[in-house]
Amino acid sequence: VIERSEIMRAVKSTDTKPEMIVRRLIHRLGYRYQLHRPDLSGKPDLTFVSRRKVVFVHGCFWHGHGCKRGARMPTTNAEYWRQKIDRNRNRDSATQVSLAQEGWRVLIIWECEINNMALEDRLRTFLEQNSTA
Ligand SMILES: [Zn+2]
């Protein structure tokens, strides 16, 4: 029997698989980060304090990505899900605006981009960019 809490963890965990893959990759690249800082808007998945940068890893469904996976909508309660995802998207935009206003640079990595060979370069470029540029 699968406990409800286990299902919830699988569905909406702070340690979701795509996030773990990104964490491991960044760690392997030699960068150190903090996780889910509660004092920052949206509790970013990864925070690079000295670089003043944050990374979010977004699930395509939950955060309403414009990709195939993100467009797939459950047929039952479709309206409920659509509204829920719209709220998530609005919250994501608001979070990104506040972070930018507080001087943070934000990179969003979508779940569907995880296996992209360019991901490593993208991360490295983002993290090495001069923050004052
Ligand atoms: Zn996607």
The side-by-side arrangement of strands in the sheet containing 46-48 is 34-35, 46-48, 53-58, 105-110
Centroid of ligand 1 to alpha carbon of 79 (angstroms):
20
Q: What pLDDT, on the 0 to 100 scale, is given for residue 133?
A: 46
Output the pTM of the full model: 0.83
- Burial level of 59, CB count in 10 A (0-12/13-18/19+)? buried
Query: pLDDT category, 117, cuts 50, 70, 90?
Result: confident
Q: Summarize pLDDT for 54-82 with one digit per residue, the tens.
A: 999 999 999 999 999 898 888 889 899 99
Whether 15 shows a pLDDT value over 80: the answer reads no
Centroid of ligand 1 to alpha carbon of 72 (angstroms):
10
Secondary structure of 62-94 in HEC code, one letter for each residue: CCCCCCHHHHCCCCCCHHHHHHHHHHHHHHHHH
Centroid of ligand 1 to alpha carbon of 1 (angstroms):
31
Centroid of ligand 1 to alpha carbon of 59 (angstroms):
7
